[in-house]
Amino acid sequence: MAALTKSEMAERLFEELGLNKREAKEIVELFFEEIRSCLENNEQVKLSGFGNFDLRDKSQRPGRNPKTGEEIPISARRVVTFRPGQKLKARVEEYAGTEQQQ
């Protein structure tokens, strides 16, 4: 299945807003980089209409090497979770595509 990528996003900015290709590419890069650096600094990102990127701190927990069965602790870590907003959820819910989604 086709997937949306940064180059298509930049292409859209070029077509719809008339940004030149270099500007369009730079804005798309900055968009994702700003979100990443915000999350890196433990700050939540809230994009109304789309969704929120939240952070969760997980404490250490016991795990296993699936190959050897050996017990190894899974270290404490911070993870990003995405909570889609109402508007995005409603738009996606209507999707009744025939393509198999995983």
For the beta carbon of residue 29, count every other beta carbon within 10 angstroms: 12
- If the CB atoms of residues 69 and 93 are measured against other proteins, the closer one turns out to be 93
- Residue with smaller CB distance to other proteins, 57 or 71: 57
Is-contact 46 88, C-beta < 8 A?
no
In angstroms, what is the minimal distance from the CB of 66 to other proteins? 19
CB of 69 to other proteins, least distance (A): 26
Task: Kindly give, in sequence order, each residue whose CB lies less than 8 Å from that of residue 65, ignoring residues fewer than 6 positions away.
Answer: 71, 72
- Per CB under 8 A, residues contacting other proteins are 1-6, 8-9, 12-13, 16-17, 19, 23-24, 26-28, 30-32, 34-51, 53, 55, 57, 76-82, 84, 87-89, 91-95, 97, 99, 101-102
Q: Rounded to whole angstroms, what are the CA distances from 31 to 14, 17, 20, 49?
A: 16, 16, 16, 16
